[in-house]
Structure 1
């Protein structure tokens, strides 16, 4: 009986909408990173690789959660989002010269402060990653609040 009531609570439209939007953001971020590396031939730095490591599984987690609803998606995805967001913040601070270059973990290969993309003078690939992680975090918080309110 508890499983049925859990499915009924989880199946409300707004909570599904938050997870679907988080799925879309993670999918666009994943496809965007693959486009930049595989089509545009931008070689990712170490911090970019770490951000990818934490973004790619989110696509699968959100997709599975859309197919098989589970209110525990917050527990599964929140750590990945927070760690990816922290790495993204660190790389943005490197790019915008808030943190000195000698504190960069990219010791070989592509420097972490390389600026492949610069739209409007300030939009870079790490900034796009920051926006993606922040948007997913907001959607997860809204989902969690909606789930708590439904109980």
Structure 2
């Protein structure tokens, strides 16, 4: 299930840039650099099914969630934008703003947190059921 969430996030990011024409900013690229390999890693985790690998893989979405949180902060406080975010497309640009709070980094952050929760839950269930080490 976590791999499915990551795959939808990857597809969504590609749709936003390729079909909707949104140009990714610096923080968007960092989030993609975490999410894209995460989708492939999660397929491997699902195949190998080792509880320790499942729990270890949960670290990557936590890093991505941290980047997403920073991006949400920059959107809300554009004066705190770093120099890297001012090159090209500013990170403070809100390409979408639904219901006053749903932006692209909120969507990415939600996906990262959901993947992390699913991985932790799956790893704990595998460990309790005596999955191979």
Counterpart-to-counterpart distance in 1, 2:91 and 2:111? 19
Given the alignment of the two structures, is residue 101 of structure 1 paired with residue 101 of structure 2, yes or no?
no
Q: Secondary structure at the match of 1:100?
A: helix
Query: Post-superposition shift, 1:143?
Result: 1.4
* TM-score relative to the length of structure 1: 0.77
- The whole-number CA distance in structure 2 between the counterparts of 1:144 and 1:125 is 29
Structure 2-normalised TM-score? 0.87
Alignment check: 8 A CA contact 2:61 2:112 kept: yes
Note the alpha carbon deviations across 1:62-105, whole angstroms, 9 max, x for none: 22233343332322x223212111101110111122x7334463
Shift of 1:137: 1.1
Q: Is the 8 A contact 1:54 1:81 kept in 2?
A: yes
RMSD: 1.7
Q: Are 2:60 and 1:74 aligned?
A: no
> 1:41-69: per-residue Cα shift (whole Å, max 9, x none)?
10000000000000011111122233343
Matched, 1:126 2:105: yes
Return 138-147 or 106-115, whichever deviates more: 138-147
Paired with 2:81 and 2:121, the residues of 1 have a C-alpha distance of 38
Structure 2 residue corresponding to 1:48, chosen from 22, 28, 32: 28
Unaligned runs of 5+ in 2: none
Task: Return the index of the structure with the highest Cα Rg.
Answer: 1
**Structure 2 match to 1:17:** none
> How many aligned positions are there?
129
Structure 1: stretches of 5+ with no match in the other structure: 1-20
Measure the CA separation in 1 of the matches of 2:81 and 2:32: 23
Following TM superposition, by how much is the alpha carbon of 1:109 offset from its aligned partner in structure 2, in angstroms? 0.2
The reply to whether residue 114 of structure 1 matches residue 93 of structure 2 is yes
